[in-house]
Amino acid sequence: SQTIHQWPATLVQPVGSPLSLECTVEGTSNPNLYWYRQAAGRGLQLLFYSVGIGQISSEVPQNLSASRPQDRQFILSSKKLLLSDSGFYLCAWSLGPNNQPQHFGDGTRLSIL
Partner 1 sequence: QKEVEQDPGPLSVPEGAIVSLNCTYSNSAFQYFMWYRQYSRKGPELLMYTYSSGNKEDGRFTAQVDKSSKYISLFIRDSQPSDSATYLCAMRGGVQGAQKLVFGQGTRLTINP
Residues that bind partner 1 (CB under 8 A): 6, 32, 34, 41-44, 46, 49-51, 57, 59, 90, 92, 94, 96-99, 101-107, 109
How near is the Cβ of 111 to partner 1 at its closest, in Å? 13
Closest by CA to 109, choosing from 3, 34, 17, 8, is: 8
User: Of the two residues 55 and 77, which places its CB atom closer to partner 1 in the complex?
Assistant: 55
Kindly provide the residue ranges of all beta strands, DSSP E only, lying in 53-106, ordered along the sequence.
Answer: 55-58, 65-70, 73-78, 87-94, 103-104
How near is the Cβ of 63 to partner 1 at its closest, in Å? 20
CB 93 within 8 A of CB 25: yes
User: Of the two residues 87 and 107, which places its CB atom closer to partner 1 in the complex?
Assistant: 107
